[in-house]
Chain A
Amino acid sequence: MAGAGSVRKEGKTMWNQIGQALHDSMARVMTQIARLLPGILAFIVALVILMVLGWLFAALLRWVLTAMKFDERIGRATGSIAELSPQHTPTMIMTRLLFWCFVVLGVLVGLSAFGASSAEPGVPEYIFAYVPHLISAAVLLFVGNVLARFLSRSVLIGAVNLNLTYARLLALGVKWLVLVLTVAMVLDHLNIGGVIVDLAFGILFGGIVLALALAVGLGSRDLVSRSLERETAKPAEAPAEQQKVRHF
């Protein structure tokens, strides 16, 4: 009986210890959260204030640039930008750039405030060091997307004007090649995946090229041969037809 009582007593003590341990850890977590809360709040406040400021300054800049007829003045110089991204006027690009500069500034100020009010000094430094990677990755992704769309359309229209029946296939191939290259560069920039990304990119890129080669060489053999036959037959026919129809 005495042994049973001792076991029951030890079990009770153990439960007490577990309860105590849980209580202590809960208290520690709550304390941590309580310590982080002012930092998080400071981050949000800093971000919101700078976003509002960014919006105001962007509106002001848009007004000034519109009054200055900025788009018309630099129309010549921005011809190539407009070709790549036709729906974005120079004014729009400038105002958006200013707004996003304020957002990035807000994030940095917020992180700094977070670091100042937090007892964990390592986190903000780590994030600070990572921010430039994030920004350049975002820029890479944007440029890659625009470039993929532009090149794909250029190839499509060029191939159609050359009477190539597989124009869409070519355009799709170019688009995915550029996109895959962009994603690989972005991941590399973010230090995600390491060697796996390089390897996966090599396999995927090579796979797309091989798939295109197979599609052109085997899958679309008849289609391609018909197109090529037409192309090779053209020089003999074209001069006679060209003499009959003059465009200019």
Chain B
Amino acid sequence: MAGIEFPAELQKRMEETAPVDLLVGVTGAVDVEALRVKVGRLRGLALDGEGSHPSRIAVAYAGVDSDDPVTVTEEGVLLARYPMPAAAGEMNLWRDVSNVQRNVLALAAGWQARACMVVYSDLAALEPETVRTFAEPVLKGGIDLLMPIYPAGKYDALINKSLLAPMSRALYGRRVRWPLTADFCAGAKMLEKLADGSRVKSEAGLLWPANLVAMQGGQINQAGLNVRHAPPGEGLDLNAVVRELVGSLFEEAEANAALWQRTRASQPATRYGDPYPLVEQEEPVDTRPMVESFVIASQNLEEVWRLVLPPATVLELKRMARLAPEQFRLADAVWARIVYDFALAHRMRRVSRTHVLGALTPLYLGWVAGYVQEVSGATAQEAERRVDQLAKVFEEQKPYLVSRWRWPERAV
């Protein structure tokens, strides 16, 4: 079971009650009473028949108790407790969530579940309609992975829009809006592969479900999910967030280089259900602090940037630092190449990895400043198109990454 061991009692009860149609795994500790109320609403849910035959559903949550680890609720749903994996440390944003997600997926594999829906510990996604939207395509349609599309305003999830999603799309060839999510549903074929955390070298490896399934050639679809989770790791500074999320993506790129270099153009990931709701944000944002961060970095970090970026890009950045704040823009192609150059420097260890990612943070703020100024008068829909355009540029620039990855010492 992908190297994750469960207590013998839980293992025994799983074998006795296996198989199940769907395991809904809650990632983290929850309010058990609130969970029982939510589980009660799943009564009689038929996910892969014509509606007459209720599916066999198990819901798992993190907790320790001396009683039976698997109980059956009045509604006929199996309720299981699994031990919470050890925390990865206080200063982390997504590592703990990823570790628990892997545990839930391993639990589903052990339970011989036909599908596993991972839901965040706030239980916002544990609603019958949401479970149906996510599990039905997997159970009935044979989809390998269903990813959510969260409602987001034009100034939301900027690290995802500017880097995580476009780079994942360019590398792994799937147009997935949110490659790192709190909620998703995976089919039986993918459970063990997703639960296996031994591919990456560091312990900080996050779980990128869409990228992993894309590398297995699996079918990925998307569905709107109208929930907004409060992000974990409140109070973490931007540098720590960049270090964890971008560092993990770069590490995955290094581990899977042989696979993504073969991937050419991207494929769309079909969307289910109604178009996802977009949040309109009208309030103007002051970009001066971000531009200022970029300018300070360009005055001080040139020696580090020169170790990572080619001279032409450093010159372009110096030119930008002289622009007036209102004219500040980081061209998409330049930004894409910067990200690729940093991925390469991360792999080559030209500078220590902590320093590579630290030196990227002000550049990211530069991109944010330019983007915010560009979309300040646009609607959320127009901003989405702008983000899509950036993702296309990441794809267009992929040959640059492939070439530099193969011949890192060649002059550009």
- Which residue numbers of A lie inside 8 Å of B, CB to CB? 72, 75-76, 79, 82-84, 86-87, 150, 153-154, 156-161, 163-165, 167-168, 237, 241, 244-248
Contact = CB atoms under 8 A, between A and B. Distances in A.
B231 interface: yes
Given A82-B352, A83-B353, A154-B355, 16 more contacts: A75-B202, A76-B201, A86-B352, A153-B355, A156-B300, A156-B301, A156-B304, A157-B358, A160-B296, A163-B292, A163-B293, A165-B296, A165-B299, A244-B281, A246-B158, A248-B160
A247 B368 CA distance: 9
B322 interface: no
Interface centre among B158, B237, B296 (most CB of A within 10 A): B296
Chain A at the B interface: mostly helix, strand, loop or mixed?
helix
Contacts of A86: 349-353
B372 A245 contact: yes
Nearest to A80: B352
B127 interface: no
Given A150-B352, A163-B296, A241-B289, A76 B241 contact: no
B135 to A, nearest CB: 27
Interface string B255-287: 000000000000000000000000001010110
A187 B241 CA distance: 43
A167 B202 CA distance: 30
B338 interface: no
Given A241-B289, A245-B368, A157 B304 contact: yes
Nearest to A246: B156
B355 A244 contact: no
Contacts of B155: 244-246
Nearest to B369: A245
18 contacts: A75-B201, A75-B202, A82-B352, A153-B304, A153-B352, A154-B355, A156-B304, A157-B301, A157-B359, A160-B362, A161-B358, A163-B292, A244-B281, A246-B158, A247-B158, A247-B368, A248-B159, A248-B231
B245 interface: yes
B239 A161 contact: yes
B354 interface: yes
Contact of B159 (A75, A87, A158, A247): A247
A86 B308 CA distance: 13
A167 B300 contact: yes
Chain B at the A interface: mostly helix, strand, loop or mixed?
helix
Contacts, number: 93
Interface string B280-316: 0101011001001100110111001000000000000
Contacts of A79: 202
A158 B289 CA distance: 17
A160 to B, nearest CB: 5
B92 interface: no
Contacts of A167: 296, 300
Tier of interface size on chain B: 35 or more
A218 B350 CA distance: 37
Contacts of A163: 289, 292-293, 296
A161 B294 CA distance: 9
A158 B243 CA distance: 13
Contact of B285 (A156, A157, A241): A241
Contact of B300 (A72, A83, A160, A245): A160
A72 B351 contact: no
A81 B15 CA distance: 45
Contacts of A244: 155, 281, 283, 285
Contacts of B129: none
A12 to B, nearest CB: 75
Contact of A247 (B241, B281, B292, B354): B241
A212 B290 CA distance: 28
B348 to A, nearest CB: 8
A244 B156 CA distance: 8
Nearest to B371: A245
A172 to B, nearest CB: 11
A172 B160 CA distance: 35
A161 B366 CA distance: 12
Interface in B224-245: 231, 237-239, 241, 245
A153 B351 CA distance: 9
Please give me the 9 A-B residue pairs with the lowest Cβ-Cβ distance, nearest first.
Answer: A86-B349, A157-B358, A75-B201, A83-B352, A167-B300, A247-B159, A244-B285, A86-B352, A246-B156
A87 B93 CA distance: 29
A160 B202 CA distance: 27
B201 to A, nearest CB: 4
B265 to A, nearest CB: 28
A72 B245 CA distance: 22
B396 interface: no
Interface centre among A84, A158, A159, A247 (most CB of B within 10 A): A247
A248 B362 contact: no
B352 A84 contact: yes
Given A244-B155, A247-B158, A87 B285 contact: no
